Amino acid sequence: MRNTRTQVAIVGAGPSGLLLGQLLFKAGIDAIIVERQSGDYVLSRIRAGVLEQVTMDLLDEAGVGQRMHQEGLVHGGFDLLFNGARHRINVNALTGGKNVMVYGQTEVTRDLMLAREQAGLPTVYEAEKVQIHDFDSAKPRVSYEKNGQLHTIECDFIAGCDGFHGVCRASVPKGAIKEFEKVYPFGWLGVLSDTPPVHHELIYANSTRGFALCSQRSAIRSRYYLQVPLSDKVEQWSDEAFWAELRHRLDPEAREHLVTGPSIEKSIAPLRSFVTEPMRFGRMFLAGDAAHIVPPTGAKGLNLAATDVKYLSSAFIAYYHDKTESGIDRYSERCLRRIWRASRFSWWFTSLMHHFPENGDIGQKFQDAELDYLVHSQAGSQNIAENYVGLPLNFGE
Ligand code: APR
Ligand code: PHB
For the chain, give every domain's residue range: 2-74+101-180+272-353, 184-270+357-385
pLDDT the model gives residue 169: 98
In terms of C-beta density within 10 A (0-12 exposed, 13-18 middle, 19 or more buried), how is residue 113 classed? buried
Ligand 2 nearest atom to the CA of residue 46, by list position: 3
pLDDT the model gives residue 106: 93
CATH fold of 2-74+101-180+272-353 reads FAD/NAD(P)-binding domain (3.50.50)
Task: Indicate the top mutation candidate among 199, 214, 225, 267 to test ligand 2's pocket, ranked by most ligand atoms within 8 A of CB.
Answer: 225
Question: Any idea which ligand is nearest the CA of 165?
Answer: 1
Give the mean model confidence (pLDDT) for residues 200-206. 98
Angle value at C-alpha 342, between 339 and 346, nearest 5 degrees: 130
pLDDT the model gives residue 394: 87
Q: Do domains 2-74+101-180+272-353 and 184-270+357-385 have the same CATH topology?
A: no
CATH 3.30.9.10 fits 184-270+357-385, yes or no: yes
Evaluate: CB of 72 within 6 angstroms of ligand 2: no
Task: Name the closest-CA residue to atom 4, ligand 2.
Answer: 48
Percent of the chain as helix, strand, coil, to the nearest 5? 40, 30, 30
Evaluate: CB of 296 within 6 angstroms of ligand 2: yes
Give the mean model confidence (pLDDT) for residues 296-302. 96
Give the mean model confidence (pLDDT) for residues 284-293. 98
User: Above pLDDT 70, what percent of the chain?
Assistant: 100
User: Distance between CA 117 and CA 109 in Å, rounded?
Assistant: 12
pLDDT the model gives residue 223: 96
Tell me the per-residue pLDDT of 135-144, one tens digit each, with 9 for 90 and over. Answer: 999 999 999 9
Q: Mean pLDDT in the chain?
A: 97
Which residues have a catalytic role annotated? 75, 204, 296, 300, 388
376 three-class SS: helix
